[in-house]
Structure 1
Amino acid sequence: MILGFRMRWAIGLVMALFMVGCTAGVTKPSASDGAVAESQESATEVVAPPSSSAPEGFAQLEGTATVELVVNGERIVVEVDGSQAPLTAGNFVDLVQRGVYDGTVFHRVVREPQPFVVQGGDPQSTDPAVPVQRLGTGGFVDPDTQQKRVIPLEITPAGADQPIYSQTFEMAGQTAKPALQHTHGALAMARSQFPDSASSQFYFALADLPFLDGSYAVFGYVTEGLDVVDAIQQGDVLESAVVVEGLDNLATE
């Protein structure tokens, strides 16, 4: 009975992931729907062809970097892994360095019926005038181009030399496990049902979530302050995010 309940719970969460953003109009994020997707204002997006080579024009992290976050006055230290997720890790480090995450709100926290995720990183959440129902629909808008930055889905199979881009493992027919998996404390990118739609929103895994492996891009892990992550409540503010080591590994175009 317990196994059956967990299986139904996992299937429900995955279904919710692909329901968010699949209809036109703003989808209101909910703390109970289980989605780690980034809500979209429109279902019209260009899906890039699958690729095994890194797309050009994106920041990349060559190696690792250490980022310190402060939430409720407490430290969270994460190690971001550019060796397995160079583009995704590079995007995150670049946004941290730009100060994009300072003052953002954790707009979605899902702990029931079982621990799932803490999600934040929507730049809109720094503006108190933005309605709560819009949180979860935003991403980073590049001040140089005035366009929203989106990055390709990037997941490296265990033992592989290169990540798979722009497709889930299921789409690619990949049977290996990812090199970076959804264990408790994993840091990953939120997206809509379109593989190449992640921008700035990220989430922490509040438990081992193997059913997300191969579908969402993990790019780091909490190394200190996992208890702080586990205690985050919806509406808590990410007071600051700072790269404390490894910034010299960031290569920007």
Structure 2
Amino acid sequence: MRKLVSILALVAATPAFATSLALDIEGEGANGTVTIDLFEDVAPQHAERIATLAEEGAYDDVVFHRVIEGFMAQTGDVEFGKMGGDMRMAGRGGSDMPDLEAEFSDIAFERGVVGMARSQSPDSANSQFFIMFEPGPFLNGQYTVVGEVTDGMDVVDAIKRGEGANGAVIGQPDRITEARVIE
């Protein structure tokens, strides 16, 4: 019995393995791999959604449709943001899964932080996410933080920038060629 209790205590003291996401990105600007640690303890529903869509291959060939210098790069529109599709609709879609309830935290939007994109409703995040180029304190407590870039920020920095105030990418946008979940 004592041996079983010791084994159970050891298992309880061992931290769970975190889920990471590897994004292979290519295009006119970025070429390389970005690794993102997903924050399952902070935003479990959002982290699970991103991991599920990655495992299904939904993010493969999805473009960075909105990229604003000094702010962020947005991707993840698995409905309208696929390379070869009608890019005029990119950024307006999501997945066939229901929108998620917000999971706001006190984690600040700093360089490399990954947040969930949404419409005006706090409970409208679905599949789209963004990676911060620079701190964005005005987002704190308003958007769900779902992870952080742990490797490949140089690749993020090279993503082709968009134009205008909305950062719409004109021409050939950079894209995720493959998204993989790493346990």
Task: Identify the TM-score tier after normalising by the shorter chain.
Answer: 0.7 to 0.9
Unaligned runs of 5+ in 2: 1-15, 161-168
1:76 maps to which residue?
34
Q: CA deviation at 1:182?
A: 0.5
Contact conserved, 1:63 with 1:81, CA < 8 A, in 2?
Answer: no
Amino acid of the structure 1 residue aligned with 2:144: A
1:134-213 correspondence runs (5 A): 134-142=89-97, 149-156=98-105, 178=106, 180-213=107-140
Q: CA deviation at 1:127?
A: 5.4
1:85 maps to which residue?
43
Q: CA deviation at 1:63?
A: 6.4
1:42 maps to which residue?
none
Does 2:121 match 1:121? no
Contact conserved, 1:106 with 1:118, CA < 8 A, in 2?
Answer: yes
Rounded Cα–Cα distance in structure 1 between residues aligned with 2:32 and 2:83: 23
Amino acid of the structure 2 residue aligned with 1:240: E
Rounded Cα–Cα distance in structure 2 between residues aligned with 1:127 and 1:81: 28
Contact conserved, 2:20 with 2:37, CA < 8 A, in 1?
Answer: yes
Rounded Cα–Cα distance in structure 2 between residues aligned with 1:66 and 1:189: 16
Rounded Cα–Cα distance in structure 2 between residues aligned with 1:64 and 1:219: 13
Does 2:34 match 1:108? no
Cα distance, 1:128–1:80 mapped onto 2, change above 3 Å = same
Q: CA deviation at 1:129?
A: 3.8
Contact conserved, 1:103 with 1:238, CA < 8 A, in 2?
Answer: yes
Q: CA deviation at 1:155?
A: 1.2
SS in 2 for 1:126: coil
Q: Deviations over 1:63-86 (max 9, x none)?
A: 621111111240101100101111
Contact conserved, 1:63 with 1:82, CA < 8 A, in 2?
Answer: no
Unaligned runs of 5+ in 1: 1-61, 143-148, 157-177, 246-253
Rounded Cα–Cα distance in structure 1 between residues aligned with 2:85 and 2:135: 36
1:25-44 correspondence runs (5 A): none
Rounded Cα–Cα distance in structure 2 between residues aligned with 1:63 and 1:204: 23
SS in 1 for 2:81: helix
TM value normalised by structure 1: 0.58
2:179 maps to which residue?
241
Rounded Cα–Cα distance in structure 2 between residues aligned with 1:88 and 1:125: 19
Q: Deviations over 1:124-145 (max 9, x none)?
A: 2215242x22111010014xxx
Q: Deviations over 1:41-62 (max 9, x none)?
A: xxxxxxxxxxxxxxxxxxxxx8
1:171 maps to which residue?
none
Q: How many residues align?
A: 152
TM value normalised by structure 2: 0.79
Amino acid of the structure 2 residue aligned with 1:77: T
Cα distance, 1:63–1:83 mapped onto 2, change above 3 Å = farther
Does 2:146 match 1:219? yes
Amino acid of the structure 1 residue aligned with 2:34: I
Q: CA deviation at 1:102?
A: 0.5
After TM superposition, the runs of 4+ consecutive aligned structure 1 residues lying more than 4 A away are none
Match of 2:157 among 230, 236, 241: 230
Cα distance, 1:134–1:67 mapped onto 2, change above 3 Å = same
SS in 2 for 1:200: coil
